[in-house]
Amino acid sequence: MTSETQAPNGLLDRSRIIAQPGFNRWLVPPAALAIHLCIGMAYGFSVFWLPLSQAIGITKPLACPADAGIWNALFTTACDWKVAELGWMYTLFFVLLGSSAAIWGGWLEREGPRKAAVVSTLCWCGGLVISAIGVATHQLWLMWLGSGVIGGIGLGLGYISPVSTLVKWFPDRRGMATGMAIMGFGGGAMIGSPLANLLMNGGNVFEWKGAFAFLPVAGFKTATSVGVFETFLVMAAVYSVFMLAGAFGYRIPPAGWRPDGWTPPSADANAMITTGHVHLKNAHKTPQFWLIWAVLCLNVSAGIGVLGMASPMLQEIFGGALIGKPEIGFAALDASQKTAIAGIAAGFAGLLSLFNIAGRFFWASLSDIIGRKKTYYTFFLLGIVLYASAPSFAHMGSKTLFVGAFCIILSMYGGGFATIPAYLADMFGTQFVGAIHGRLLTAWSTAGIIGPVVVNYIREFNKAAGVSADKLYDFTMYILAGLLILGFIANMFVKPVAKKWFMSDAEVRSLQAQASSGPQGGSYGIGKGGLDRQAALAWLAVGIPILWGVWITLQSAIRIFS
| Ordered alpha helix ranges (H), 465-532 | 474-492, 505-515
What residues contact residue 210 under an 8 Å CB cut-off, 6+ apart? none
Question: Amino acid letter at 226?
Answer: V
Position with higher pLDDT, 326 vs 228: 228
According to DSSP, the residues that pair with 204 across neighbouring strands are: 216
> What confidence score (pLDDT) does residue 521 get?
58
Summarize pLDDT for 86-128 with one digit per residue, the tens: 888 888 888 899 999 999 999 998 899 999 999 999 999 999 9
> What confidence score (pLDDT) does residue 337 get?
83
**Which CATH class name applies to 11-258+518-562?**
mainly alpha
Domain ranges of the chain: 11-258+518-562, 270-497
| 3-state DSSP assignment of residue 441 | coil
Position with higher pLDDT, 220 vs 470: 220
Vertex 420: Cα angle to 419 and 423 (nearest 5): 90
Question: Amino acid letter at 404?
Answer: G
CA distance 193 to 144: 19
Q: Using CB atoms within 10 Å of the CB of residue 205, give its burial: 0 to 12 exposed, 13 to 18 middle, 19+ buried.
A: middle
**In this structure, which topology does domain 270-497 adopt according to CATH?**
Growth Hormone; Chain: A; (1.20.1250)
Residues 22-48: what's their mean pLDDT? Answer: 92
CA distance 317 to 158: 37
Position with higher pLDDT, 55 vs 263: 55
Least confident of 260-269, 280-289, 486-495: 260-269
> What confidence score (pLDDT) does residue 562 get?
66
By the 8 A CB rule, do 282 and 431 touch? no
CA distance 370 to 292: 18
Q: Write down how long the chain is.
A: 562
For the cut 80, the answer to whether the pLDDT of residue 320 exceeds it is yes
- How many helices (H) and strands (E) would you count in the chain? 22, 2
What does 183-219 look like in DSSP terms, one character per residue? HHHHHHHHHHHHHHHHHHH-EEEEEETTTEEEEEE--
Question: For 216, phi and psi rounded to 5 degrees?
Answer: -70, 145
> What confidence score (pLDDT) does residue 517 get?
44
| 3-state DSSP assignment of residue 18 | strand
According to DSSP, the residues that pair with 217 across neighbouring strands are: 203
For the cut 60, the answer to whether the pLDDT of residue 13 exceeds it is yes
Question: Amino acid letter at 273?
Answer: I
What does 462-473 look like in DSSP terms, one character per residue? HHHTT--GGGTT
CA distances from 373 to 166, 223, 423, 497, 501 (A): 20, 56, 8, 14, 21
Confidence of residue 268 (pLDDT cuts 50, 70, 90): low
CA distance 279 to 93: 29
By the 8 A CB rule, do 481 and 383 touch? yes
Residues 300-310: what's their mean pLDDT? Answer: 81
Question: For 107, phi and psi rounded to 5 degrees?
Answer: -60, -40
* Percentage above 70 pLDDT, the chain: 94
CA distance 193 to 353: 11
| 3-state DSSP assignment of residue 27 | helix
Q: Which helix (H) or strand (E) holds 322?
A: none
CA distance 171 to 421: 12
By the 8 A CB rule, do 527 and 20 touch? no
By the 8 A CB rule, do 197 and 41 touch? no
